[in-house]
Amino acid sequence: MGECSWPSEAEGFGVCNLNLLGVLDLYIASVNQITQDSNRCKLKLQLWVYSSLAELELAKLENRLASMANVREGHRLSLQLVMEEEKEPAVGAQDQDQEGRTQNLVLVAIALNDLREVVAGISGRSPEEVRVVVSPYRICPLGAHVDHQGGAVSAMAIKLGLLLAFVPSGNPEVVLRSAQFEGELRFRVDETQRPKKSGKENGTVDTNGSVKVEEECGWGRYAKGAVYALQSKGNILKQGIIGLISGSMGLDSSGLSSSAAVGVAYLLALENANNMSVSPTENIEYDRLIENEYLGLSNGILDQSAILLSRQGCLTFMDCKTKEHRFISHQKLQVDHTNGVHKSYKILLASSGLKQALTSNIGYNRRVAECREAARVLLNASGQPDVDPFLSNVEQEAYEAHKEKLEPVLARRAKHYFSENMRVMKGLQAWASGRLDEFGRLITASGRSSIENYECGCKPLIDLYEALLRAPGVYGARFSGAGFRGCCLAFVDADHASEAASFVKTEYSKLQPELASKIAPEAAVLICESGDGARVIGG
């Protein structure tokens, strides 16, 4: 198991899973400190980091780097912790966690330097000029598989995701490298990008109108898709970017919407480089164009909405038909009236070891088509043949009156849609009132309906889902993402998070030893928290 941490308005960046390409987000002004106090606190933090580095033996630090498989809980690096004491924190036996926090700050300093230095080296700029997009992954506690039908969804960003360090290129050229994949991607933002749904391969259109298909650096399709999306709405881009993108190790294709996070990151970087002012709502549409048109996926807008709109500690509710959203605050502490104990939660992300990109999975698009066919049958039966065939256009009463007309497969898809919408609405009430037990039961029911009615999942994922449900302190669990590979998520009592993570890791190793052996130990079960949405920092 591992502990993750992520940049937020009042926090730094905690190193997770040996991925040293992180960033320390020093937005001290958001802690409501005036400029003078902000500068004093920033200087104090820097002095603490560098003095701590001097105190640590290099050999000891190297050993720590090699064995950081499990970054302990509590390494959140809040600037508030620094501001609570007028003197620098001491490293000593009297506070066993202090040494761990200090080491983590040292790693953050190294990570920040690495990230900026690499891009500075590629671009020939100074590290101070490098800007960084923070694009988090997301989870969907309730609202599974209904966004593409205009349903109601809930989501939150987590303190785990990817970083895109970049500088404006000074010309139309884009130069990109990846910390996870080989190769270098080069293209120009003044070339017209060709969408997949045009019937031709993704590529660029040169001056004589012929399509140039580039096979190298497949990981760069989202960057070209971002240019396509911006171009499709009439935006003229003049500045490319030079950048390095780095995701959380081992979490690509894990059902955490890493693909949407990539698309959002490229959009924000290109917009920033071209001095464009774009709202989150507009970027939700731009990212939809990347996925639906440029890449040919049939997914909805849940993923990019969560990544762009989320606020730490809140559940984001979105009506995917009207595009309206609101934030539901959670009572962080819940009183168990049987014994007076206060409860809080953590999020578990358990990896199955199954890897398959959504773009290569025909099962996803087929189920979307089945939902639309179910909607068509129900609308025809209710005398509305000309209405767009989305289940959100079918009234609950019409569904109840005509559901017997659906063939078995379509009936199951419709049953999942209408029951999931109901679970979302009940879940919002449970979350707002701090009833974690009830919220968890609804998550588990969502997972069960995904298996029985939406018919996603497979033996390894179901084994993992059921292991989570048996784990101590777990409120509820379900698949994350499309449910064909990747991971499962669970909400767990904060006091039992480590115990539950160890239990699930052990149980899954027994049930699926071959797959479990392919998962890095530190990535098998992660413990994390909700976080803020995507943003650009620095520069």
As annotated, the active-site residues are 303
Phi/psi at 441 (nearest 5 deg)?
-60, -35
Kindly report the three-state secondary structure assignment for every residue of 78-136: EHHHHHHCCCCCCCCCCCHHHHHHHHHHHHHHHHHHHHHHHHHHHHCCCHHHCEEEEEE
Rounded CA separation 474/190 (Å): 51
Q: For residue 504, what are its two tokens?
A: 């699930």
Q: Cα dist. 9→28, 52, 107, 155, 444 in Å?
A: 7, 24, 20, 20, 32
Closest CA to 291 of 266, 319, 274: 266
Closest CA to 526 of 317, 256, 308: 256
Closest CA to 295 of 209, 361, 250: 361
Rounded CA separation 310/418 (Å): 25
Residues 6+ apart with CB under 8 A from 500: 348, 468, 471, 472, 473, 474, 490, 492
Rounded CA separation 335/127 (Å): 48
Q: For residue 434, what are its two tokens?
A: 């701090």
Q: Cα dist. 199→140, 193, 194, 196, 279 in Å?
A: 32, 13, 10, 6, 31
Helix axes of 258-273 and 280-288: crossing angle, nearest 10 degrees: 120
Residues 6+ apart with CB under 8 A from 20: 107, 110, 111, 114
